[in-house]
Structures are given as structure tokens and as C-alpha cells.
Amino acid sequence: MSIKPGLTDYLAYGHRKGVDGQLPIWRQLIEMVLLFVYRQNGPGYYMFGRFWRRDLPLRQKLKHSSERSYKRRINELNDPRYQKISQHKIAEKALLKLFSMPTPEFLGFLSVSGGRSATGAPLTTPQDLIDLLADRRPAAICFKPVEGTCGVGFQATAIRCGDDSTAQLRPLPNGDWQSVADFFNAYLQPAELATGYLVEEYLQQHPWYEQLNPDSVNTVRLYVIQSVSGQARVLGGYLRIGRVGSAVDNATLGGIFCPIDVHTGVIGPARFNTYDSDDFQRHPDSGLELAGATLPCWDEIMALANRLLHIFPHTRFAGVDIAVGNNGPCVIELNVEPDRTAACDIDLPTIDMLDDRWDQAPDID
């Protein structure tokens, strides 16, 4: 079990950075006090944002709002009465499909109470799932808790269907073949089966993205805001990459991330989601060069992100997750209250990020 870092850990790390030529620890302490007084951001936020850097001015650090102010501003941009549309994966998927947005193929809503396949057939038991797989015969599928976050509860499986309408599942990336009933008992949680799982086809990635880590679907997270006049703008983003043996790319579950220059699609050095992570140029497992690479299909990714908010009512800001398949980019999901710390990690101040009047002043980029 990991131990959450405390103040002494942050200060010790800050001292080391000062010795290495960054801001001295006394200056860091003064800034921490100022940021806590003016923005209620503590030492942890300071360290995750790498605010000890000499080339990051204090005025930039003061543009990071408090957690409370951030959530209040989110609710101004995204009417709370409508936020559940994107926070429930079935409702979100329905809206994406209704407006023909590219997204992995919907197979059904698996729930012990009222589950249904995309054709309307019952989807509540292992036998119902066998019938669905025998009919559709997908190569692989994934299960997502309908109200899950950060990849928790996600399960991807390969599928092997027999001629006699039987099926076996193999949990990805390295599980063993087993019956559908055994999979139910071992991998699907009773509490989640009560609220339900989104069942969809597992995306076959574009070869470039797959090579980064074949065990996970590696996604782009973009922060998108819609101005008062209705124009959409991508503010910043990062590429998430999983690790060997992990089916998810989330940085909170051990994955890595690379900041993206949204003007060019070029990615920077990778980091872990820890306060003391170093930058590294290559993937820690494969050794594949990351820093300086240009993301394939970047223009198409940007175009898709810029038109997404228009289909979600009373929603003008979101973290958009996009993967790239063999047929181009597709939407994985939206997050209408994305973690502000992740934006801090890529030098995207929340006060600037949530300014919806950006199109009323000259672009300073």
C-alpha cells in the first residue's frame, strides 16, 4: 500500500531541487504561504505543479484557483442539473451515438436489474451475455462501471465464441481463458452489477498509439471550453500511456503522461503522476522515444474535440478523452469536472482555463 506524502516529504524534495539550482527552499516556503493565503493551495499542489522552477513566475502560480473556487466556476459553466448526462456512461454514450460522434460500438447495459443489449434483449445474467456475444461475435469487449472514474473497475476481455453458441473470455492483457460464469464471479463486482456496466467493443488502436503500450488503450486528454459566443477552444492537454501489464492508461493507476503542444501536436517529456517524478524522454518499459514525437491524426483529434461540447446541453467546459483507432479518432468519454491537479501538472492555470471570454480579447499565444 502506498503512503501518502506529507509536508516533510515535500520540504525535503523542495530542498533537493533548490540545491540543484532551482528556487531555494526559503523562497519556496514564502511562496507556499502566499499561495495558501491567497488561493488556499497547499504544499502538495505546489510540488505537483513543480512551482519550484526558476523559470515559472509567481504571477503564473497565483493564477491557480482554490478547489472551492474551481468547483464554483465549473458549476457556472456547466449547469449542475445537466452534469449527470456525461457522468453516467449510458446517457453519455446515447448522446454521442444520437449525434453520430465516433465512439466505440455500444453493445449493451449489463445490470442484474433491467440490463439490456443494444437490440433491446435482456442483459442481466451470464447466459444473456453469452447470447449477446454469440450474436455479435466481437474480438474483444470492455466493461465500464456506469458511474466509475479514473479507470477503477474497468475490465477488458478477449472473446472466443464456439459454433455451439458458447463463449469464453480472457481478461486482458494476460488473463486465462474462462467461462462467462467464472468471469462474472471473478471480475464483475456485485455492487457494480447492481448499478450496471457499460459494455462496448474494445477499440483496436492506430498502430502508432498501440506501440506505446499494447496492453492499454492510450488516450489523449484535452481541456475544451466554449466561449460566451459559442466558439470552442482546446486549451491544453496531455497523452496518457499505460504500463506493461496494465489495461488502463490512467496516471493515477501508474500510467505516465506527456504534455502536448496543442498548436502542433508535439508531445513533451513524460512524467509519472507523483510530486517527485523526473522527466524522461523514453517510455520506461519499451524504451520508445516519446519527447518530440508528433501525434498521428492530430488535426482530426482537434476537430473532434472542438465540436463535442455543442451536443451536451448547458455544458461549456470539459476534459475530453479521445483515442485513435484504425479509422481515426473516437470519443472515449467526457469529464465535466476534470481534476484540476492534472491541469496544474501541464502548466494550465485554472483561472485562465475557465475564462469563457477568451474570444473577446486578442489571442496572446
Please state the three-class secondary structure of the chain as a single string.
CCCCCCHHHHHHHHHHHHHCCCCCHHHHHHHHHHHHHHHCCCHHHHHHCCCCCCCCCHHHHCCCCCHHHHHHHHHHHECHHHCHHHHCHHHHHHHHHHCCCCCCCEEEEECCCCCEECCCCECCCHHHHHHHHHHHCCCEEEEEECCCCCCCCCEEEEEEECCCCCEEEEECCCCCCEEHHHHHHHHCCHHHHHHCEEEEECCCECHHHHHHCCCCCCCEEEEEEECCCCCEEEEEEEEEECCCCCCCCCHHHCCEEEEEECCCCEECCEEECCCCCCCECECCCCCCECCCCECCCHHHHHHHHHHHHHHCCCECEEEEEEEEECCEEEEEEEECCCCHHHHHHCCCCHHHHCCCCHHHCCCCC
What pLDDT was estimated at residue 43? Answer: 96
The grid coordinates listed for 40 are 488556499
- Higher local confidence (pLDDT), 344 or 364: 344
What pLDDT was estimated at residue 192? Answer: 83
Q: Are 309 and 232 in contact (CB under 8 A)?
A: yes
Q: Are 295 and 222 in contact (CB under 8 A)?
A: no
Q: Are 51 and 14 in contact (CB under 8 A)?
A: no
- What is the average per-residue pLDDT within 44-60? 96
Q: Are 324 and 340 in contact (CB under 8 A)?
A: no
Report pLDDT digits (tens) over 218-233: 999 999 999 888 899 9
* CA 53 to each of CA 10, 21, 76, 138, 279: distance values in angstroms, whole numbers, following the listed order: 14, 9, 33, 49, 13
- What is the average per-residue pLDDT within 323-335? 96
345 pLDDT tier (thresholds 50, 70, 90): very high
Q: Are 81 and 163 in contact (CB under 8 A)?
A: no
164 pLDDT tier (thresholds 50, 70, 90): low
**The CATH number of the domain covering residues in 69-99+207-360:** 3.30.470.20
363 pLDDT tier (thresholds 50, 70, 90): very low
What pLDDT was estimated at residue 302? Answer: 97
359 pLDDT tier (thresholds 50, 70, 90): low
Q: Compute the half-sphere exposure of residue 303: CA atoms within 13 Å on the CB side of its CA.
A: 8
Torsion angle of the four alpha carbons 347, 352, 353, 355, in this order, in degrees rounded to the nearest 10 = 180
Report pLDDT digits (tens) over 241-264: 998 888 787 777 778 999 999 999
What pLDDT was estimated at residue 210? Answer: 95
Mean pLDDT for all residues in the chain: 92
The grid coordinates listed for 296 are 498521428
What pLDDT was estimated at residue 1? Answer: 39
What pLDDT was estimated at residue 194? Answer: 87
What pLDDT was estimated at residue 324? Answer: 98
pTM of the prediction? 0.92
- What is the average per-residue pLDDT within 261-279? 94
CB atoms within 10 A of CB 150: 13
Q: What angle do CA 347, 312, 302 make, to 5 degrees?
A: 45
**Residue 13 pLDDT > 70, yes or no?**
yes
104 pLDDT tier (thresholds 50, 70, 90): very high
Q: Are 3 and 38 in contact (CB under 8 A)?
A: no
3 pLDDT tier (thresholds 50, 70, 90): low
361 pLDDT tier (thresholds 50, 70, 90): very low
**Residue 365 pLDDT > 50, yes or no?**
no
Give span(s): CATH 3.30.470.20, the chain: 69-99+207-360
358 pLDDT tier (thresholds 50, 70, 90): low
Q: How far apart are CA 25 and CA 18, in angstroms?
A: 6
What pLDDT was estimated at residue 171? Answer: 94
**Residue 211 pLDDT > 70, yes or no?**
yes
What pLDDT was estimated at residue 251? Answer: 74
101 pLDDT tier (thresholds 50, 70, 90): very high
